[in-house]
Structure 1
Amino acid sequence: MTCKLAAISMAAVLSTSSWAQAPVMNVGSSGTVNDRLAELERAFSARSQAQIDQQRQFNAMQQEVSELRGLLEEQSYRLEQVIERQRALLMAQQDAAEKPQKAASAAAQSGGEKETAQPRQGKASATPASGDEQAAYDNAVNLVLQDKDYDAAIPAFARFITQYPQSTYVPNAHYWLGQLLFTQKRFDQAKAQFARVVEAYQSSNKRADSLLKLGMIAKEQGDKGQARQYFDQVLKEYGNTGAARLAQENLNGL
């Protein structure tokens, strides 16, 4: 009898122990799921923030590359201007030096009549930009490349275009103005500036980049068909250039 009671007691203890452990396992399992969900949420948030940071870095790098390219093109353009001015100046000096000799020869042939040589106005006097024009353009460019004051650069380029409409720097000024407006996502206004370069300045070294930017604006505005046309035009007219490579990358992303 004692053995039976002991056996029954032992069975009751084991049964109670098993019943008591079940809720503990359920609670533990539920807590693990919650922990995992919380961990997934943290990972997702971290990944989202990382993507945002990467996009910001990419946008900043794009701006820096654009500025560096603009600076390089600006330096190349100015070097070409200096060479052209030097060539014109040398030609004018050569003409001025030769004219007295020609006048003396003509006087000798006509019976010794003396002729006073007058200074000749060569092309060099018309080729260089005026001091005010050059200073206005340099000021606008420096607001972008040195001061990074983009808000002030926009009206500076606009004033330059208005004040010096015949300047050789006007295509560049339109491009810079479009680039600044594009950066601020003022796409319709930027489009007008880039379109001006494309349509009115066929030989400008800013035309390829202006076509590229028109494609990017169309892409931003959801007009993939128009964007494709602009990118194709860049590839067709300006193959093997940096603008063409960017156009192909944008085409691949459409």
Structure 2
Amino acid sequence: MKIKLAAISMAAVLSTATWAQAPVVSVGGSGSVNDRLAELERGFAARSQAQIDQQRQLNAMQQELSELRGLLEEQSYRLEQVIERQRSILAAQQQAAPAPAAPASSAQASAAGDSAAPAPAAQPQAGAASDEQAAYDNAVNLVLQDKDYDAAIPAFARFITQYPQSTYVPNAHYWLGQLLFAQKRFDQAKAQFARVMEAYPQSNKRADSILKLGTIAREQQDSALARQYFEQVLSEYGNSSAARLARESLDSMN
């Protein structure tokens, strides 16, 4: 009996020792934890790449929307200019039209016939206006059609220098600021937007210019100034698309 108990005890000891020396293997098999970590890392990497791709697509869509919006504004502005010019021409023609004369006697008619004929009215310089329009259209088309932004910058700069009294000058400053902003030349862009804000209070580009000044201030880590510009857009242009973007910018800063 003692021999049997000893044998049983010895077997138990050997079994325990054997179990203690056996290698520890995880449930999923050898290296499964590393495999799972690697799989998680691949998942995070794929998700991060997808987010990057989505951001790129969003940036591209925003750029296209900005260009389409700019094109629409340009067409509306040009239509307003055409209508205004037609009104000016019509008013000038009405002022130049002679008043109906009373019937003249034969002597008066003879005297009138002997007098010199009136000089023709001065004609507007159509060539200069045509050159101005062509120069502006060329600069705009470099942006919206050719997308040659490097060439558009000097084109707008030349237009501002050559036609400082043009009604398109505020728009030219704005487009020049946009192009410089896209190249991250923030100080130069800021000067163009500030010019529109300060010198052209009636410009349809003023709200967007103030908005851009706020965006530049945010890019330059001046949060207080950025808020000031965004709040100015909300205060002065509360129902505009620029105000909506200013509100979104303010919310993102909170």
Report if TM-score (shorter chain) is over 0.5: yes
Number of the residue aligned with 1:194: 193
Match of 2:119, as an amino acid? Q
Number of the residue aligned with 1:181: 180
CA gap of 1:127–1:79, structure 2 versus 1, over 3 A, is farther
Q: Give the secondary structure class of the aligned counterpart of 1:143.
A: helix
What is the CA-CA distance between 1:93 and the residue it aligns to? 3.2
Match of 1:197, as an amino acid? V
The superposition leaves residues 59-117 of structure 1 with CA deviations (integer Å, 9 ceiling, x where unpaired) of: 21221121111101100000011111122222333344x32x44x44977x94442634
What is the CA-CA distance between 1:43 and the residue it aligns to? 2.0
Taking the TM superposition and a 5 Å limit, the aligned residue runs for 1:140-151 are 140-151=139-150
For these two proteins, the number of residue pairs brought into alignment is 246
Q: Give the secondary structure class of the aligned counterpart of 1:23.
A: coil
Number of the residue aligned with 1:211: 210
Number of the residue aligned with 2:72: 72
Number of the residue aligned with 1:120: 121
Q: Which moved more, 1:197-206 or 1:43-52?
A: 43-52
Question: What percentage of aligned pairs have identical amino acids?
Answer: 71
- Contact conserved, 1:85 with 1:128, CA < 8 A, in 2? no
CA gap of 1:30–1:221, structure 2 versus 1, over 3 A, is farther
Structure (1 or 2) with the greater helix fraction: 1
- Contact conserved, 2:213 with 2:226, CA < 8 A, in 1? yes
Residue 238, structure 1, aligned to residue 237, structure 2? yes
The superposition leaves residues 181-223 of structure 1 with CA deviations (integer Å, 9 ceiling, x where unpaired) of: 1111111111000001001111100000000000000011110
What is the CA-CA distance between 1:40 and the residue it aligns to? 2.1
Q: Gaps spanning 5+ residues in structure 2: where?
A: none
Aligned CA-pair RMSD: 2.9
- Contact conserved, 1:129 with 1:167, CA < 8 A, in 2? no
CA gap of 1:92–1:252, structure 2 versus 1, over 3 A, is same
Q: Which moved more, 1:44-53 or 1:132-141?
A: 44-53
CA gap of 1:242–1:130, structure 2 versus 1, over 3 A, is same
Supply the distance in 2 between the matched residues of 1:106 and 1:69 (Cα, whole angstroms). Answer: 60
What is the CA-CA distance between 1:233 and the residue it aligns to? 0.6
The superposition leaves residues 119-139 of structure 1 with CA deviations (integer Å, 9 ceiling, x where unpaired) of: 3347xx279962221111111
CA gap of 1:106–1:141, structure 2 versus 1, over 3 A, is farther
Q: Give the secondary structure class of the aligned counterpart of 1:205.
A: coil
